[in-house]
C-alpha cells in the first residue's frame, strides 16, 4: 500500500511527463510546492520501490508499474469529480480540492461501484478521459463544437478550462453532460450555430462553440 504522499508524487510525475519524458527535480518541486531536496528524497524512495527510473542529476521517469499506479489515482480523481458535479451539483472550480482528498481513499470495490453508479462515464466534467481499471485511456475523440460541420452529432463531455460561467449557463438551460447535440445549421455571417439538444432547438454564439467539448463518432 502506498502513502498519500507517494501517490501525490506519482500523479505529479504522470502529469509532468506529458511535457517531457524525463522530469526535472525542480519542476516536481514547483508542481507539488515543495523544496527540491524533499523531492530528491522521495524519488529515491520511489526508485527503491521500482515506481520510477531515477538517475542522479539526470531526471526521472515513471516505470510501467508507477504509471499504472498514477493512472489508477487519476481514474479515482476523475470519477470523484464526476460524482461531485453530476450527483451533488457542485460547480467546477470547487471540485478539484475535494477530489484531491477523495482520490486517496483505498477500496477497489468502492471505485468500481462508483463507476457503475455514474454509468461508466468516459470523461470527467472537464472533458478529461477517465482511465479504466487497467489504466487504459480510451483514445479520445474529443472536439470543440465549433469544429463540427452541419448535421454532425456529438455528446457533451465538458467545457474548456476557465469557463465556469459557460457551465452555469448550460445549467440554467438545463443542459447536462452526456446530452446529445446535433448541428442543424451554421450561420456563416457571425459563426452562430443552431443546434438541437434534447429535442429543443437552440442558438449558440461562436464563443460558446469555441468552449464546448463534445465526444464525436467519426
Partner DNA sequence: CAGGAAATTTAGTTTAGTCTAAAAGTTTCA
Partner DNA sequence: TGAAACTTTTAGACTAAACTAAATTTCCTG
CA atoms of 48 and 157, how far apart (whole Å)? 39
Helix (H, G, I), strand (E, B) or coil at 180: strand
Residue 102 touches which of a second copy, DNA, none (Cβ within 5-8 Å per kind): a second copy
The answer to whether residue 101 forms part of the interface with DNA (CB under 7 A) is: no
- Minimal distance, residue 33 CB to DNA, in Å: 7
- Minimal distance, residue 46 CB to DNA, in Å: 9
Tell me how crowded residue 131 is: count the other CB atoms within 10 A of its CB: 20
Helix (H, G, I), strand (E, B) or coil at 207: helix
Footprint of a second copy on 142-181 (CB under 8 A): none
Footprint of DNA on 22-41 (CB under 7 A): 24-27, 33-41
Q: Which of 50, 58, 105, 150 binds a second copy (CB under 8 A)?
A: 105
Q: For residue 170, what are the contacts with CB-CB under 8 A and spacing of at least 6?
A: 156, 159, 176
CA atoms of 63 and 189, how far apart (whole Å)? 52
Q: Which of 1, 16, 19, 42 binds DNA (CB under 7 A)?
A: 42
Site string for DNA, 47-86 (x = CB under 7 A): -------x-xxxx---------------------------
Beta strand extents in 103-218 (DSSP E only):
142-144, 153-159, 180-186, 193-197, 200-204, 212-216
Q: How many residues bind DNA (CB under 7 A)?
A: 27
Q: For residue 21, what are the contacts with CB-CB under 8 A and spacing of at least 6?
A: 61
Q: Look-up: residue for cell 445549421?
A: 185
Q: H or E stretch including 170?
A: helix 164-172
- Minimal distance, residue 18 CB to DNA, in Å: 17
The answer to whether residue 19 forms part of the interface with DNA (CB under 7 A) is: no
- From the list 54, 49, 100, the residue with the least C-alpha distance to 73 is 100
Which residue lies nearer to DNA by CB, 24 or 132? 24
The answer to whether residue 89 forms part of the interface with a second copy (CB under 8 A) is: yes
Which residue lies nearer to DNA by CB, 48 or 133? 48
Interface residues with DNA (CB under 7 A) are 3-6, 8, 24-27, 33-45, 54, 56-59
Interface residues with a second copy (CB under 8 A) are 84, 87-90, 94, 97-98, 101-102, 105-107, 109-110, 113-114, 117
Amino acid at each position: 500500500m502506498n502513502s498519500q504522499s507517494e501517490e501525490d508524487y506519482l500523479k505529479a510525475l504522470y502529469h509532468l511527463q506529458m511535457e517531457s519524458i524525463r522530469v526535472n527535480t525542480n519542476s516536481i518541486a514547483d508542481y507539488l510546492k515543495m523544496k527540491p531536496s524533499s523531492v530528491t528524497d522521495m524519488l529515491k524512495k520511489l526508485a527503491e520501490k521500482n515506481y520510477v527510473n531515477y538517475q542522479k542529476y539526470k531526471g526521472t521517469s515513471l516505470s510501467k508499474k508507477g504509471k499504472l499506479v498514477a493512472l489508477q489515482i487519476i481514474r479515482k480523481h476523475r470519477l470523484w469529480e464526476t460524482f461531485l458535479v453530476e450527483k451533488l451539483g457542485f460547480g467546477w472550480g470547487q471540485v478539484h480540492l475535494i477530489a484531491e482528498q477523495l482520490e486517496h481513499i483505498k477500496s477497489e470495490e468502492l471505485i468500481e461501484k462508483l463507476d457503475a453508479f455514474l454509468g461508466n462515464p468516459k470523461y470527467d466534467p472537464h472533458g478529461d478521459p477517465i482511465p479504466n481499471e487497467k489504466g487504459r485511456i480510451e483514445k479520445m475523440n474529443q472536439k470543440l463544437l465549433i469544429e463540427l460541420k452541419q448535421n454532425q452529432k456529438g455528446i457533451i463531455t465538458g467545457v474548456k478550462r476557465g469557463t465556469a460561467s459557460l457551465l452555469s449557463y448550460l445549467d440554467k438551460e438545463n443542459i447536462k453532460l452526456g446530452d446529445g447535440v446535433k448541428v442543424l445549421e451554421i450561420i456563416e455571417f457571425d459563426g452562430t450555430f443552431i443546434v438541437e439538444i434534447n429535442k429543443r432547438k437552440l442558438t449558440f454564439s461562436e464563443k460558446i462553440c469555441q468552449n464546448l467539448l463534445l465526444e464525436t463518432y467519426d
